[in-house]
Amino acid sequence: MNSKDRIKVAIQKSGRLTDHSLSLLRTCGLSYSRGTDQLICFGENMPVDLLLVRDDDIPSLLAEGVCDLGIVGLNVMIEKAVTGPGLVLPRQAASLGFGKCRLSLAVPRDFTYEGPADLCGRRIATSYPRILGEWLEANSIVADIVMLSGAVEIAPRLGRADLICDLVSTGSTLTANDLVEAEVIFESRAVLMAGDRPEEDIRAEWVDRLISRVEGVVRVRESKYIMLHAPRSRLEEIRQLLPGSEAPTVMPLDGRDDKVAVHAVCRENVFWETLEGLKAAGASSLLVLPVEKMLA
Ligand code: PRP
Ligand code: ZN
């Protein structure tokens, strides 16, 4: 397979999504070696290479066909406006279970913020002019958007803006810059994006395979395998209590006519409360196991 037939997955070069993205792909079975320039990792066991790039560039790399798949924050995806032709989302922007953060308005301590109306005529520094612009419009606010591609949080101190609109994860950047979160305007998380590709492309098969592995990994994270003994008479009740399971396996127990063994894959996390509820319904010998791999 020559290099143009290998599929390319773009991930963030360094930042919040980098480690999670690499570990997700490793869990999908990809092993790779890092090139000397560290900007490309060659897959060793699949025709899949990783491009390490600025996250903001990922949507356009996909749109231009340079990459086939990308892992990016929903905020970047929406900001770069890439839902048009040339780019499709794999099954509604499958959420990957990491990179949760929010795009928020944050104000200096002495700024009294009581609601969107306080933003009229203000200068707001942000790297997200599109998302912010839409939010302002939806709230009928006319304000100045000051577009900055980095170091947004120091804009008020430099006198370049009255407040900012930036991503907040732990909140420590805001605290360090004496800013207070005033309003969440957008909730974000990491998503998997796919570029458009011709159906007959020989890479398509690998792209699909990788997408379904990613979906499998994500699904498995929340899934548990649960085993228990249930009184036959209360089987239906117990079945109802199993979170997110479709068809549990019910097996006879040797020498016991009154009880059966129930095994089920639960597509949601199983909490102590659930187990207590099952026990109250007569279940015994409860065992909850992690699921390692799943292929629907
Ligand atoms: C965001 C944002 C803040 C920081 C907030 O940057 O611009 O600097 O994260 O995180 P905290 O609330 O945990 O302090 P990001 O990681 O997206 O980097 P980038 O803008 O360079 O892509
Ligand atoms: Zn970025």
- pLDDT for residue 293: 81
Q: Give the closest ligand to the alpha carbon of residue 152.
A: 1
Atom of ligand 1 nearest to the CA of 152: 7
In the chain, the amino acid numbered 191 is V
| Ligand 1 contacts CB of residue 79 (under 6 A) | no
Q: Both tokens of residue 132? A: 């912010």
249, 266 contact by CB (below 8 A): no
User: What is the greatest pairwise CA distance in the chain?
Assistant: 80
Q: Both tokens of residue 89? A: 């989302």
pLDDT single digits (tens) 191-248: 999 887 656 677 888 888 998 899 888 888 878 999 999 999 999 999 999 987 778 9
137, 202 contact by CB (below 8 A): no
95, 217 contact by CB (below 8 A): no
- pLDDT for residue 36: 67
pLDDT single digits (tens) 58-103: 999 998 889 999 999 999 999 987 655 555 555 555 678 899 999 9
In the chain, the amino acid numbered 245 is S
Atom of ligand 1 nearest to the CA of 176: 14
Query: Helix or strand or coil: residue 173?
Result: helix
166, 126 contact by CB (below 8 A): yes
Q: Both tokens of residue 260? A: 């059966």
| Ligand 1 contacts CB of residue 166 (under 6 A) | yes
- Which helix (H) or strand (E) segment holds residue 113: the answer is none
Confidence at 158, pLDDT banded by 50, 70, 90: very high
